[in-house]
A and B are shown apart, each in its own frame.
Chain A
Amino acid sequence: MSNNNIIMGFTRADLTNFLIVMILSFVAIPLVVQTDYWYSSILIPWLCLALAAIGQQIVMGYAGQLALGAAGFMAAGAFACFNLILRVPDIPFFVALGLSGLVAAAFGILFGLPSLRVRGIYLMVATLASQFFIVWMIDKFGWFKNYDTSGIITAQDIVILGKPFTSPLEMYFVILVVVTVLTVLAVNMARGSTGRNWMAVRDMDIAAESMGISLLKTKLQAFAISAFYCGVAGALFAFTYLKSLEPVAFDIKLSFKILFMVILGGLGTISGAFIGAAFILLFPVLLNSIGNNVFHGAIDATIISSIEQVVFGVLIIVFMIYEPLGMAKLWGNIKQRFLRKS
């Protein structure tokens, strides 16, 4: 086997896939999709939530720590970004974004500490603290909201190198750049020694420790990196999708949504985060359009949203039992069936 099939640790197939995705997302989509609706209601929230789902994937799918508080870290990231842009004059947007990720990471380490003592469902309860504490803290201390009393603060415009990025298409590009960089990083971490250590801790922690892996370091590192991803995702979510900052937006429902994305998408795969986020986001849209176009509004909107909950619940149970590796694995199976050389 010659070396020209591997470039910097990536296989040729990886690079082809990467190129296809890049051309699709940077060239094809902007050329084909012209309506703002698709950007501001589908693509932008999808990429933001997929980024948060990668964060959840790292801590849960890779490191095996059941954590439920992604929205808390998103809130930390969003408000950190708001305050950084507000209080630090001329701070470049990407710097503010990175720093808000780091702020979230610090919270991640703090709320990851219980993982050293408890595990499983108990850890999940312990990590709920991040969800409630961070949102409470932002609500309680006016400084974080710049003493705004209305409850909803408008997010500042994204300005990069003096140019404001305000239209949905421009914002889409900003997010795409961030998501691309962070996804490539995540894939690299997951495949390298960092990811191996996470998975070793997930699969058999005593054996991992006996192989010289520090549980303390590995678990806290997973929590920190996970919170970093959630923090950046939260900042992007607030600045490009919500265009406002309110602690209520980052409630426990959002945490659960991100958790479901990871479970449905497939635990332990980066692509699962994207697939899961797309499904959770698009399924209600699909149901709504079926309700409007097939039944012409004969079905009440509240019933449709109930159906949505029921379907999500059933799907999660089905996936947990029959395919714990989620939709990413299903997709892999389908691909394998068609690509298999006969």
Chain B
Amino acid sequence: MTIERNFPIGEPVLEVKNISLRFGGVKAITDSSFSVLKHEIKAIIGPNGAGKSSLLNCINGIYQPQEGSIAFKGEVLGKITPNLIAQKGISRTFQNLALFKRMSVLDNILVGRRLHMNSNFLQVAFQLPKARSEEKVNHGLQKKVELGRALATEADFLMLDEPMAGMNVEEKREMCRFILKVNDEIGTTMVLIEHDMGVVMDISDNVVVLDYGKIIADGPPDEVRANQEVIDAYLGVSHD
């Protein structure tokens, strides 16, 4: 029951080739390669500490992998700072809320927008509350604001680090719908880290599984679910 998409999945837009990232003696990522296709939703899953966030941080330029290369739209990124990567059209949210806490919700989003506009104007025009984003804004909404801020950059490549962490079922469902809607209406390519397998299986086109810094599976959800190595990584190998 394939539904025709407004933005059909295309060529690889991001190619990660053989990257390795070490922190001193700790190997966070070992010789990992994968690619993200244009307009797809790709999930990265794996147990805690598998290197999922580190992988996003490498793409984002916060970490520089010691080996390997990352190419975006055919251009090798090399050693550049996160702000230049953002200007190339990659945006992201963070695992632990990274809102600008002492700024209003509107200002948070306008930072992403990089508008030369006086926020006072909009605040009055739309009669928005002037509350700081940390006050009176619940966790689920804060997560949404962060996603809104990332979207406001008009990035065509979005990385979401646990966008549904700490949400209840209702909020998760709404967030899923929203992610799918963005992907369908704007065609944003998305990479998301998520622990809720139900969500992952539902919304992603492809799934990468990381374990101990290594990619152990990469493919459509059904295929990954049946993969013995993945089952072992998640459930542990039986010892009887």
Q: List residues of A whose CB falls within 8 A of some B CB.
A: 1, 3, 5-6, 9-11, 14, 188, 191-193, 196-197, 199-200, 202-204, 206-215, 268
Which of A5, A188, A208, A209 touches B100 (beta carbons < 8 Å)? A208
Render B79-105 as a binary contact track against A, CB cut-off 8 A, 1 for contact: 001110111000110100011111100
**Contact A1 B100, beta carbon cutoff 8 Å:** no
**Contact B116 A209, beta carbon cutoff 8 Å:** no
**CA–CA, A254 to B82, complex, Å?**
38
**Which of B81, B82, B103, B153 has the most chain A CB within a 10 Å cutoff?**
B82
**CA–CA, A208 to B107, complex, Å?**
12
User: For residue A188, which residues in chain B have a CB less than 8 angstroms away from its CB?
Assistant: 118
Complex interface: stretch among B23-31, B121-129, B180-188, B226-234: B121-129
* A211 and B112 in contact, given A10-B120, A11-B120 (Cβ under 8 angstroms): yes
**Which of B115, B116, B118, B127 has the most chain A CB within a 10 Å cutoff?**
B118
**Contact B62 A206, beta carbon cutoff 8 Å:** yes
Asked if B149 CB lies within 8 Å of chain A CBs, one says yes
**Contact B86 A210, beta carbon cutoff 8 Å:** yes
* A6 and B124 in contact, given A200-B103, A208-B100, A268-B102 (Cβ under 8 angstroms): yes
Q: How many A-B residue pairs have CB under 8 A?
A: 101
**Contact B119 A196, beta carbon cutoff 8 Å:** yes
* A211 and B149 in contact, given A193-B115, A196-B111, A204-B101 (Cβ under 8 angstroms): yes
**Contact A210 B100, beta carbon cutoff 8 Å:** no
Chain A minimum-CB-distance residue to B119: A191
| Contacts A11-B120, A207-B98, A212-B153 known; 7 new A-B pairs at CB < 8 A | A9-B117, A9-B118, A193-B116, A196-B119, A207-B99, A208-B100, A210-B85
* A209 and B111 in contact, given A9-B118, A192-B117, A193-B116 (Cβ under 8 angstroms): no
Distance (whole angstroms) from the CB of B135 to the closest CB of chain A: 12
**Contact B120 A199, beta carbon cutoff 8 Å:** no
**Contact B62 A208, beta carbon cutoff 8 Å:** no
**Contact A200 B98, beta carbon cutoff 8 Å:** no
Distance (whole angstroms) from the CB of A319 to the closest CB of chain B: 16
User: For residue A214, which residues in chain B have a CB less than 8 angstroms away from its CB?
Assistant: 81, 83
Asked if B136 CB lies within 8 Å of chain A CBs, one says no
**Contact A192 B116, beta carbon cutoff 8 Å:** yes
**Which of B107, B116, B124 has the most chain A CB within a 10 Å cutoff?**
B124
Asked if B53 CB lies within 8 Å of chain A CBs, one says no
**Contact B111 A211, beta carbon cutoff 8 Å:** yes
The 10 A-B pairs with the shortest beta carbon distances in the complex, nearest first, are A212-B86, A9-B118, A203-B100, A207-B98, A209-B82, A200-B111, A214-B83, A193-B116, A209-B83, A204-B98
Distance (whole angstroms) from the CB of B141 to the closest CB of chain A: 17
**Contact A1 B127, beta carbon cutoff 8 Å:** yes
**CA–CA, A196 to B107, complex, Å?**
7
**CA–CA, A118 to B213, complex, Å?**
31
* A196 and B110 in contact, given A6-B124, A203-B102 (Cβ under 8 angstroms): yes
Which of B98, B99, B107 touches A206 (beta carbons < 8 Å)? B98
User: For residue B149, which residues in chain A have a CB less than 8 angstroms away from its CB?
Assistant: 211
Distance (whole angstroms) from the CB of A198 to the closest CB of chain B: 10
Distance (whole angstroms) from the CB of B100 to the closest CB of chain A: 4
User: For residue A212, which residues in chain B have a CB less than 8 angstroms away from its CB?
Assistant: 83, 86-87, 114, 153
User: For residue B153, which residues in chain A have a CB less than 8 angstroms away from its CB?
Assistant: 211-212
**CA–CA, A197 to B83, complex, Å?**
12
Asked if B206 CB lies within 8 Å of chain A CBs, one says no
**CA–CA, A11 to B119, complex, Å?**
11
**Contact A199 B100, beta carbon cutoff 8 Å:** yes
Chain A minimum-CB-distance residue to B155: A212
Chain B minimum-CB-distance residue to A218: B83
**CA–CA, A200 to B104, complex, Å?**
11
**Which of A1, A5, A192 has the most chain B CB within a 10 Å cutoff?**
A192
Chain A minimum-CB-distance residue to B124: A11
Asked if B60 CB lies within 8 Å of chain A CBs, one says yes
**CA–CA, A218 to B100, complex, Å?**
15
Distance (whole angstroms) from the CB of B136 to the closest CB of chain A: 15
User: For residue A6, which residues in chain B have a CB less than 8 angstroms away from its CB?
Assistant: 121, 124-125
**CA–CA, A193 to B107, complex, Å?**
9
* A213 and B124 in contact, given A192-B117, A203-B101, A204-B99 (Cβ under 8 angstroms): no
Distance (whole angstroms) from the CB of B111 to the closest CB of chain A: 5
* A199 and B110 in contact, given A14-B120, A210-B92, A211-B153 (Cβ under 8 angstroms): no
**Contact A191 B102, beta carbon cutoff 8 Å:** no
* A200 and B60 in contact, given A211-B111, A212-B114 (Cβ under 8 angstroms): no
Distance (whole angstroms) from the CB of A39 to the closest CB of chain B: 33
Distance (whole angstroms) from the CB of B53 to the closest CB of chain A: 12
* A9 and B121 in contact, given A196-B103, A196-B110 (Cβ under 8 angstroms): yes
Chain B minimum-CB-distance residue to A12: B124
User: For residue A207, which residues in chain B have a CB less than 8 angstroms away from its CB?
Assistant: 94, 98-100
* A200 and B100 in contact, given A6-B125, A208-B111 (Cβ under 8 angstroms): yes
User: For residue A213, which residues in chain B have a CB less than 8 angstroms away from its CB?
Assistant: 83, 111
**CA–CA, A162 to B121, complex, Å?**
42
**CA–CA, A211 to B92, complex, Å?**
8
**CA–CA, A193 to B119, complex, Å?**
8
User: For residue B103, which residues in chain A have a CB less than 8 angstroms away from its CB?
Assistant: 196, 199-200, 203
User: For residue A193, which residues in chain B have a CB less than 8 angstroms away from its CB?
Assistant: 110, 114-117
Distance (whole angstroms) from the CB of A57 to the closest CB of chain B: 14
